[in-house]
C-alpha cells in the first residue's frame, strides 16, 4: 500500500517534470517564433488606428488553408490593442448574425447550467441571456444544439474517458522575459476534460454536415497546440489586454473533433500527445499564423464591414449617398446579388446574413426551419427543392424586438 502510494507520487512527479520540460522547450521555441512575429510586429500601423501593439493574439481558425482574408485586415485584427481613432457606430448589443451563437448559448445553458434544451430555449427567448437572436436564427440554433448533443455519446465513446464540460477557455500565452510583445494563441469551440484534467478535448461545432468535409490540418494543429500547452483563462479577452491565466498543468493527450450541427455528423481532426501537437503545429500551422500578423496588400471584400481600417483604408472608396443612405449607423455590406435576392424575397436577405445552411439543407427539419424566418406579408422562401410544389404560403409573424422589418434592412451586417 505504502509502496503503491509512493510509486503513484513518483509517477505524478515524473509526469509533472516531463510536462514542465516540454512546456519550457515549447516556450523557448515559441519565443523564437515570437521573436519572428515581433519582427512582423513591426508592421507599420496604418493611419487612423491608435492604441498599442504589445499583444499579438491569433485564433486557431486563422490557420485554415482556406483563409483568404485581406492581409491588412488580419494584421489589424491580430492586434487587439489597436482601435480606430474614430470608432464606427456599433450594432445594438446582443443582436447576432453568426448562426452558431445561439447554438453555443443554448449548449452553455445545457452543459454548464444543467438546463434541458427546452428550458435553455425559454431563457434565450425571454431575453435572459447576452444574445438576442432573430426568432428564425433561434429556431435554427435549437435544431443545431439538439443535433450537437445527439452526437455526444458517439463522440465520447471514441476517447475512452468521461468528458466533463469546461466553461473557461484555454489560452496558450508566451510572455517574453524581456517584456516585449506578448503572444497568445486561442481556440474557439466547446471544451471537455477528464476528471483528473490530463485529457483534453475540443469539439468544434460546424454549421453544415461534416460527412464530406476535409479535415483542415492547419486549424487542427493550432487547436491541438492550445489544448496541449494552454492554461485556463480567468478573464474575458476584452479591452486589448492579455488574458490572466491559471498556472498551466500537465496534459497527457489531446483530441480535436468537429461536429456538424446540421445532422449530428462528426469526425476526429487530431488525436495524440502534446509532442505530436507541437510537431503538427510546426508543420501545418506555424507559417500560416505567422503570416496573418505580417499584413501586406489591401484586398477589399466581405471583411471590410468588420474591419478596423474601414474608415481610412486606401483601397475602399467612399461614395456617400450612393445607395440613398446617409450613413450614421453601423457599417453594412451590399452587393448586386443582395439586391436581386431582396427583390425576389426580402426575408431571404436577412436569412442569408446568418450564414446558416441553405443550399445543402436536405432534411425536412432544416428545410422547414430555413423557410420560416420570413416577415409578415411575404412569401416563405427556401433554396432547398421542395418535393412537391405546394401552394404559396404567407409567412406567419416572426418579429423579434430590435430586428429590422422585411425589406427595410437588406444588409448582410444587421444593425
Ligand atoms: S477595409 Fe477592406 S481592404 Fe481595407 S484593410 Fe479592411 S478588409 Fe482590407
Atom of ligand 1 nearest to the CA of 313: 4
Round to whole Å and give the CA distance between 228 and 230.
Answer: 6
What's the confidence (pLDDT) of residue 121? Answer: 97
Question: What residue spans of 116-236 are helical by DSSP H?
Answer: 117-125, 135-157, 217-229
Atom of ligand 1 nearest to the CA of 46: 5
pLDDT tens across 225-277, in order?
999 999 999 988 777 899 999 999 999 999 999 999 999 999 999 999 999 99
Q: What is the DSSP letter of 283?
A: I
What's the confidence (pLDDT) of residue 193? Answer: 97
Q: What is the DSSP letter of 386?
A: P
> Helix, strand, or coil here: 304?
helix
Supply φ then ψ for residue 255, to 5 degrees. Answer: -140, 135
**Most informative mutation of 303, 306, 311, 312 for ligand 1 (most atoms within 8 A of CB):** 303
Question: What residue spans of 41-134 are helical by DSSP H?
Answer: 71-77, 100-111, 117-125
Unique residue bearing C-alpha cell 475512452? 160
373 CA → ligand 1 middle, Å: 31
What's the confidence (pLDDT) of residue 18? Answer: 46
320 CA → ligand 1 middle, Å: 18
Atom of ligand 1 nearest to the CA of 71: 8
Task: Please report the beta strands in 246-394, taking only residues with DSSP state E, as ranges in sequence order.
Answer: 253-260, 266-272
50 CA → ligand 1 middle, Å: 17
| Residue 156 CB coordination number (10 Å) | 16
305 CA → ligand 1 middle, Å: 8
Contact between residue 331 and residue 413 where contact means Cβ atoms under 8 Å apart: yes
The grid coordinates listed for 37 are 512575429
Round to whole Å and give the CA distance between 347 and 374.
Answer: 5
Residue whose Cα lies nearest atom 4 of ligand 1: it is 313
List all residues whose CB is within 6 A of at least one atom of ligand 1: 70, 72-73, 298-300, 303-304, 307, 309-310, 313, 315-316
**How big is the chain, counted in residues?**
415
Round to whole Å and give the CA distance between 184 and 175.
Answer: 9
- Mean pLDDT per block of 10 residues along the chain (415 residues) reads 38 44 43 41 86 92 93 95 84 80 97 97 94 89 96 90 96 87 94 97 97 96 96 85 93 97 96 96 91 91 90 88 73 80 79 65 40 35 38 43 46 37
What's the confidence (pLDDT) of residue 347? Answer: 74
| Residue 296 CB coordination number (10 Å) | 13
Contact between residue 133 and residue 124 where contact means Cβ atoms under 8 Å apart: yes
360 CA → ligand 1 middle, Å: 30
Residue whose Cα lies nearest atom 2 of ligand 1: it is 304
Residue whose Cα lies nearest atom 7 of ligand 1: it is 304
The grid coordinates listed for 47 are 493611419
Q: What is the DSSP string of 77-98?
A: HT-TTEEESSPPP-PPTT----
237 CA → ligand 1 middle, Å: 23
**Most informative mutation of 300, 311, 332 for ligand 1 (most atoms within 8 A of CB):** 300
Contact between residue 375 and residue 398 where contact means Cβ atoms under 8 Å apart: yes
Round to whole Å and give the CA distance between 351 and 137.
Answer: 8
Residues 6+ apart with CB under 8 A from 252: 15, 198, 199, 273
Contact between residue 172 and residue 226 where contact means Cβ atoms under 8 Å apart: yes
Residue whose Cα lies nearest atom 3 of ligand 1: it is 300
Domain edges within the chain: 1-304, 318-362+397-415
Residues 6+ apart with CB under 8 A from 6: none
177 CA → ligand 1 middle, Å: 34
What's the confidence (pLDDT) of residue 333? Answer: 78
84 CA → ligand 1 middle, Å: 13
359 CA → ligand 1 middle, Å: 29
**Is the sign of the CA dihedral 342, 348, 354, 357 positive or negative?**
negative
Contact between residue 228 and residue 278 where contact means Cβ atoms under 8 Å apart: yes
Atom of ligand 1 nearest to the CA of 314: 4
Order of strands, sheet of 55-59, starting from the edge strand that comes earlier in the sequence: 55-59, 182-186, 170-174, 231-232
Amino acid at each position: 500500500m505504502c509502496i503503491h502510494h509512493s510509486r503513484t507520487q513518483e509517477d505524478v512527479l515524473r509526469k509533472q517534470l516531463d510536462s514542465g520540460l516540454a512546456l519550457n522547450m515549447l516556450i523557448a521555441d515559441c519565443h523564437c517564433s515570437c521573436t519572428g512575429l515581433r519582427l512582423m510586429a513591426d508592421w507599420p500601423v496604418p493611419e487612423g488606428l491608435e492604441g498599442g501593439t504589445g499583444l499579438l493574439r491569433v485564433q486557431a481558425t486563422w490557420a485554415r488553408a482556406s483563409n483568404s482574408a485581406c492581409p491588412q485586415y488580419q494584421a489589424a485584427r491580430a492586434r487587439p490593442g489597436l482601435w480606430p481613432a474614430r470608432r464606427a457606430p456599433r450594432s445594438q448589443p446582443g443582436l447576432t448574425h453568426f448562426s452558431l451563437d445561439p447554438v453555443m448559448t443554448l449548449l452553455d445553458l445545457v452543459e454548464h447550467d444543467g438546463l434541458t434544451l427546452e428550458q435553455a430555449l425559454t431563457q434565450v427567448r425571454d431575453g435572459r441571456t447576452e444574445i438576442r437572436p432573430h426568432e428564425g436564427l433561434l429556431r435554427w440554433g435549437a435544431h443545431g444544439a439538439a443535433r450537437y448533443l445527439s452526437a455526444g455519446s458517439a463522440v465520447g465513446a471514441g476517447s475512452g474517458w468521461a468528458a466533463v464540460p469546461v466553461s473557461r477557455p484555454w489560452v496558450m500565452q508566451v510572455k517574453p522575459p524581456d517584456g516585449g510583445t506578448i503572444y497568445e494563441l486561442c481556440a474557439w469551440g466547446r471544451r471537455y476534460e477528464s476528471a483528473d484534467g490530463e485529457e483534453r478535448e475540443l469539439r468544434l461545432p460546424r454549421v453544415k454536415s461534416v460527412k464530406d468535409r476535409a479535415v483542415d490540418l492547419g486549424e487542427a494543429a493550432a487547436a491541438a497546440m492550445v489544448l496541449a500547452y494552454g492554461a485556463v483563462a480567468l478573464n474575458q479577452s476584452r479591452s486589448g489586454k492579455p488574458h490572466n491565466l491559471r498556472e498551466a498543468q500537465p496534459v497527457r493527450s489531446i483530441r480535436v473533433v468537429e461536429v456538424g450541427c446540421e445532422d449530428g455528423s462528426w469526425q476526429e481532426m487530431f488525436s495524440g500527445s502534446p509532442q505530436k501537437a507541437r510537431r503538427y503545429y510546426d508543420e501545418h500551422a506555424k507559417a500560416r499564423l505567422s503570416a496573418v500578423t505580417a499584413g501586406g496588400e489591401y484586398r477589399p471584400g466581405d471583411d471590410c464591414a468588420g474591419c478596423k481600417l474601414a474608415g481610412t483604408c486606401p483601397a475602399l472608396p467612399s461614395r456617400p449617398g450612393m445607395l440613398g443612405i446617409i450613413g450614421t449607423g453601423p457599417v453594412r455590406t451590399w452587393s448586386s446579388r443582395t439586391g436581386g435576392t431582396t427583390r425576389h424575397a426580402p426575408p431571404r436577405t436577412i436569412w442569408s446574413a446568418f450564414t446558416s445552411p441553405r443550399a445543402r439543407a436536405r432534411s425536412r427539419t432544416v428545410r422547414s426551419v430555413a423557410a420560416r424566418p420570413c416577415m409578415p406579408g411575404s412569401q416563405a422562401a427556401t433554396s432547398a427543392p421542395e418535393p412537391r410544389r405546394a401552394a404559396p404560403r404567407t409567412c406567419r409573424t416572426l418579429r423579434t424586438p430590435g430586428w429590422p422589418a422585411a425589406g427595410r434592412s437588406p444588409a448582410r451586417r444587421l444593425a
